[in-house]
Structure 1
Amino acid sequence: MQTLGRYRIEGLLGEGAMAEVYRAHDPDIGRAVAVKILKPDFARDADLEARFLREARAAGALSHQNIATIYDAGEASGVAYIAMELVEGQPLDALLAAQGRLPYERVLSIARQLADALAYAHRAGIVHRDVKPSNILVTADGRQVKLVDFGVARLGEADAGQLGRTHAGQLVGTPRYMSPEQALGLPVDHRADLFSLGVVLYEMMTGKVAFPGTGLATIAIQIAQERVEPVGRIVGDCPPGLSFIIDKLLSKKPEARFQDGTQLVAALDREIGQAKEAEPTRRGLPLRVKLPLALATVTAIALAGSIVPILDRQESALDRMAVVSGETIASFVTSNAAVLAADNAGLPAEQQDWTPLQAFVAAAARDANVREIVVADANGTVRAATDPRRVGTPYAAPSSEPPFGGDATQATDRGRGPGIRFVRPIDYAGIEFGRVDLVLKRTALDGAVAQARTMLALLAGIVMLAVLGVGYLSGALVARPLRRLRSALVEAAGSGFALRISHRRRDEFGAVFDAFNKTAEAMETRLSAAPVASVPDLRATCVVARAA
């Protein structure tokens, strides 16, 4: 076959039980399409062919990003065909065969897209009735899925008496993915699609089929009566919320499942969006701000209460060191000045020689820590000084200088910088020959104090930043699970507790979430408690299976 109607056939893409799918080109609009035609055995059945076209045209009214679009349906050269969107990618069953199972994040993404597609189709009154991995195409980039093959779908309830079977007497849908009502040949509605989707999600999450029977009768019995092995027993990374969604979808009774695709979409959105949920409006500051502020305030008070005394003690210790050092230098200068001054004692004024004393003072003044030295004789006349202009002038003892420590005082700046003054008498052999006035610079002392303050302030700043950071992160870590719990509690009443909190926490919040899930399970069971309908006679199941 080279052409079919206006379509140029390019090659076989695949085939199913009833139809074959070809890659084709539509020259009218210049695009590649997929053309599906009934196999010859089925094409000879006029009623089946008419239904094939009728239901294709009904499905062609659907326009959704996760449903392969049907462009055209008709008959050419005696062959019924459907021209639809060509999806470049692979079927989900091929992807599962290659990977075994999918990460739960990807399962959620695919589930969300399929649920939205089914919700859209159901609102249009169309039930797919054959949701299975081979009817789900994954695009080449892996980000999007397309639901295909509405060939067994029905529009509304027009043919309610034939919902369970095709005209050829075969069960509608693939046995392993059927709902219990399909397997038992009972009337079905859109909730059958949700059950089938649950079977697909189970397989994606676990890598195993939900109903592993080998014969049609066995599979039908498993679907109708047996509970599947819980997902959590097979894999350890399935969140409780997703496990709950799958379990609910696989409920035997339609009324126990999600009642429509919209509810399922909401449940999946809640599961996907937990981490991204917007912070609700509240009064006051959020916890992740209040907690670091509280910690920072307490830390600031503690730092202030400890740093101030430390600085005071350190400054006092440095002052004592400066006094001890100054007294040592003053004693050295005084002892040497005493020897030199004693040489002039008792000599007439014209015979006294104070030159050696001035030379000693000049040499001592070379010390970087010495600001000034003045040596006066017993008569109060300056005999040596770092400022030679003062030699021969009367010595005036400083007054009104505040004490510094010991008998030292704080020397007036006088444009030469702050200093520490030490005044010592010149004693030699028990006789006082005058006094020494020594002023040491306090630049090094003030620098050491300033450096200590800077280091402590820097340390305090680092501590405050660390506390703020830890406080913010702690607040965020606490606020997020609280937000999830609050959201779950708010939504619980509206959903009849039909939700679970997914988590992997092993802390106290994990225990709280587990307790919520147990409570939700108990409440849901209690709220939905009703007389259990009797399970249809298994003989009916076997009859259906044999008829297939």
Structure 2
Amino acid sequence: MDSKLSDIGRYRIEGELGSGAMADVYRAYDTEIHRVVAIKVLKEANRQDDEYYSRFLTEAKAAGILTHPHIVTVYDVGVFEDKPYIVMELVEGETLSKRLEKGEKFSIREIIDIFRQLTDALYYAHQNGIVHRDIKPDNILFSSDGGAVKLADFGTAHREGGQDAEKTQIGMLLGTPRYMSPEQAAGERLDGRSDLFSLGVVLYELLTGEKAFKSPTVATLIVQITSEQPELLNKLPAEVPRGVKHLLSRLLEKDPAKRPPSGKEVIDVLNWELEALIAEQDRKQQKFLPLYVKWTLMIGTIITVILALCLTVVLSLQTDALTEYAVDSGSSLAKFIATESAIPVLGEDWITLESLVNDASKRNTFQSLLVMDHEGVVRAATDPKMIGQPQPISESAQIVRRQQQLEVSSELLADGDIVFNFSTPILFKNTEVGSISLGLHQAALEQIKQVTAGLVLMVGLVIVVSVVVLLFIFGRVYVGQLRVLRRAMQDFKSGSLDRRISSRRKDEIGELFQLYNGMADLIQERLHLGSDGRQGEATSRQNAVPESDTDHFNAINSNEAESADEVERVEDDSTQVWSGEADEDADRTALFTGIDVSDQVAAAPEEVAVDQHQPQKKTEASVAENSDSDEQANKGEALIPDKMVEDDDDDATRLWQVPPEDPESKKEEGSKG
């Protein structure tokens, strides 16, 4: 590095920033534009090489066309006293290599974000026909806040298709060998895919903490780059997303045709992986149930309970209605059979009675039928074994209805069937001659109940599922909008004061967005006003009256206050503008606030003298009418005492001493008053 490097033209050298194999870098100040810059000056040894000399200037000028937020801007290129130089934007942050040397670790999210910015910068450069050719940690700079990154040192860059595009040879390697692409190491023609390989080497180093190619010599290093894969490529940490692993393996392909064709594809993959990673981290950090899930569970539970209650009520009402219908139908049938059996029972014509019962049982209309005589002995039955037996009594029967001359009971049979038993007397001219017991199946009734319950349950389930799905979808949509607001507020909190939400929703969410935008505008405006106010305060402190002058100023105020009190005692209401302490203070405030007293008095001493004597004139006119001390006033003496004028402080004397007045002009002024 040139130890005695003088200023370069309008750039004042302020110090050394670093040195590389090709050039030295200095911190400098642009005396015309008034900004701090970085100047790269070609090393003295390289100035003797015409190839280095011309390449340094030509390719720096080519890189100068690039303007991108993640590329260090080239301001100027030139030669001063046979010293080629490049003037660049000065980035105050550290390089990636320094942060790695300190052992700093980056999270997967930070790594993806860093490489997303770098790839965007490279894609822009490649679109403009510029290949960097020296991607390495030393050329990746962080901003002072550590968030944004910038790609530096396009001094070895070249235009694709330029005259020197095929001149790179092994004997003249441009770039850092450890991060070169195979085609660059072999001296072949380069395009943007060479930079993508070098970017992959840096990405590998960040993900694994190890160099991709570790050979200590250049020769063996080139062999590794052109023919060997990094040993940890298939053993990346488990937290690395699969998409990033696949992208890294493609970037490190030896054949450029197998790499991503451009940075655009790499950016798309990184954006996808970053969004997925952010969403996954948000889910892991979220210690509460999402609002849309709460809404769904709550509303779904409420609807389910309501539908269950409704289903229970409906089925209960249906069961009662069907039971009532079955009981009425069975009662009518039992009474009809009792009426038809009255004559055979009265005549004890058991054969005819059995024939009637057998015919009825063949129709399979009922489950059982028993006809008993007046002594309770079974005389006809659907089950022949029951004939001649006393009427059976069931202990499991439950009375459903009991009316005059009719009793209905429900019984559970051994086979699981449920029947209604109808018992009614056989009457002949209102005389009981026997009784019958009719059993009707409830299977059909239960089947109707089950079908109805199934249909109602299905309808309820469809309603619940539909409502839950709709609530989930709409809830997620609205929560997504709230997440937009939350991310905007997080960005604003982190310092992105220009972050605004551009959504134009016309609902409550839209009102929240507008409130946020208005709040952000107001806070940003107040911050700017506060900054301006602080600058104004500093200016006012610079223009403050010196302490010695302030002492005299206070003394004069005291004397003026005494004179004002005397005037107040003798003047009438019309002269109250001059009376009282408050008016005197207001007058002094209007006279002196915001005025540089020394400048005003020096510029217009006569005006100050007139201002000082205005109250004195009114004093003289009033005292002349009310006292015998007119002589001193008529002599035109100043309001300020002599001892103030004769003060030892010369500055105060210059400020406040009143020049002598002409007596004639004083009389004219008195008459005007």
How do 1:247-396 and structure 2 match up within 5 A? 247-274=249-276, 296-297=299-300, 300-302=303-305, 305=308
Structure 1 match to 2:190: 188
Contact 2:60 2:155 in 1 (8 A): yes
Q: Which residue of 2 aligns with 1:47?
A: 51
Bigger mean CA deviation after superposition, 149-158 or 192-201: 149-158
Report what 1:76 is aligned to: 80
Does the 8 Å CA contact 1:295/1:468 hold for their aligned counterparts?
Answer: no
CA contact (8 A) 1:92 1:134 kept: yes
The alignment's TM-score, normalised by the length of structure 2, stands at 0.43
Q: How far off is 1:234 after superposition?
A: 4.0
CA distances 1:3-57 after superposition (whole Å, capped 9, x unpaired):
1122111111001111110000110100000000111110112332121111111
Contact 1:101 1:205 in 2 (8 A): no
Which residue of structure 2 aligns with residue 6 of structure 1?
10
Q: Does 1:127 align with 2:101?
A: no
Which of the numbers 146, 158, 161 marks the counterpart of 1:154? 158
Q: TM-score, normalised by structure 1?
A: 0.52
User: 1:143 is paired with a residue of what secondary structure?
Assistant: coil
Task: Report how far residue 274 of structure 1 moved.
Answer: 3.1
Distance 1:135 1:32 in 2: 19
| Alignment deviations for residues 150-194 of structure 1 (CA, whole Å, 9 cap, x no partner) | 11111121135644249xx32111111000111122221111000
Question: In 2, distance between residues paired with 1:103 and 1:52?
Answer: 37
Superposed displacement of residue 61, structure 1: 0.7
Alpha-carbon spacing, 1:105–1:158, altered in 2? closer, same or farther (3 Å): same
Q: Provide the residue aligned with 1:143 in structure 2.
A: 147
Computing the radius of gyration over CA atoms, which structure comes out larger, 1 or 2? 2
Deviation per CA, 1:446-492, whole angstroms, max 9, x where unpaired?
xxxxxxxxxxxxxxxxxx9xx989x959x969x99xxxxxxxxxxxx
Aligned identity (percent) is 42
Q: Is the 8 A contact 2:300 2:468 kept in 1?
A: no
1:302: Cα distance to partner? Answer: 4.0
RMSD over aligned Cα, in angstroms? 3.5
Residue in structure 2 matched with residue 220 of structure 1 by the alignment: 222
Query: Which consecutive residues of structure 1, in runs of 5 or more, have no partner in the other structure?
Result: 278-287, 311-463, 481-548
Call closer, same or farther: CA 1:290–1:236 in 2, change over 3 Å: closer
Shift of 1:225: 1.3
Q: Report if the CA contact (8 A) 2:236-2:245 is conserved.
A: no
What code does the residue aligned with 1:5 have?
G
C-alpha distance in 1, partners of 2:8/2:38? Answer: 12
Write the deviation string for residues 183-238 of structure 1: whole angstroms up to 9, x where unpaired: 12222111100000011111112211111222212211211111223456242221
Q: 1:109 to 1:103 in 2, by over 3 A?
A: same
Residue type matched to 2:242 in 1?
P
SS of the residue 1:151 aligns to? helix
Partner deviation per Cα, 1:269-303 (whole Å, 9 max, x = no partner): 122223679xxxxxxxxxx9799759844663346
For 1:425-466, what per-residue CA distance to the aligned partner results, in whole angstroms no more than 9, with x for missing partners? Answer: xxxxxxxxxxxxxxxxxxxxxxxxxxxxxxxxxxxxxxx9xx
Aligned residue for 2:156, secondary structure, equals: coil
- Structure 2 spans left out of the alignment, 5+ residues: 280-290, 314-463, 481-673
Question: Which residue pairs with 1:109 in the alignment?
Answer: 113
Tell me what 1:178 maps to: 180
Paired with 2:225 and 2:13, the residues of 1 have a C-alpha distance of: 40
Aligned residues: 313
Following superposition, the deviation at residue 64 of structure 1 comes to 0.5
**What corresponds to 2:623 in structure 1?**
none
Amino acid at match of 1:121: A
1:64 to 64, 68, 72: 68
CA deviation vs aligned residue, 1:356-408 (integer Å, no higher than 9, x gap): xxxxxxxxxxxxxxxxxxxxxxxxxxxxxxxxxxxxxxxxxxxxxxxxxxxxx
Q: Secondary structure at the match of 2:33?
A: coil
**Conserved in 2, the CA contact under 8 Å of 1:127 and 1:193?**
yes
Secondary structure, aligned partner of 1:129: coil
Kindly indicate whether structure 1 or structure 2 has the higher relative contact order, using CA contacts under 8 Å at least 6 residues apart.
1
Change (3 A) 1:55 1:229: same
Distance 2:248 2:92 in 1: 29
**Counterpart residue type for residue 180 of structure 1:** P
- 1:47/1:215 CA distance change after superposition, 3 Å: closer
Q: Secondary structure at the match of 2:24?
A: strand
Q: Displacement of 1:245 after TM fit? A: 1.5
Q: Following the alignment from structure 2 to structure 1, what is the Cα–Cα distance between the partners of residues 15 and 124?
A: 32
Secondary structure, in 3 states, of the residue corresponding to 1:142? Answer: coil
Separation of aligned partners in 2, 1:101 and 1:157: 39
Call closer, same or farther: CA 1:13–1:291 in 2, change over 3 Å: closer
Question: Hey, what's the Cα distance between the residues in 2 that align with 1:51 and 1:170?
Answer: 12
Aligned to 1:9, what secondary structure does the other structure show?
strand
Alignment CA distance shift 1:289-1:31 (3 Å):
closer
The amino acid of 1:179's aligned partner reads S
Deviation of 1:2 after TM superposition, in Å, equals: 2.9
After alignment, is 17-26 or 184-193 more displaced? 184-193
Q: Please, which of 199, 202, 205 is the counterpart of residue 200 of structure 1?
A: 202
Instruction: Kindly indicate whether residue 37 of structure 2 is the aligned counterpart of residue 33 of structure 1.
Output: yes
- Name the counterpart of 1:428: none
* 1:242 matches 2:244: yes
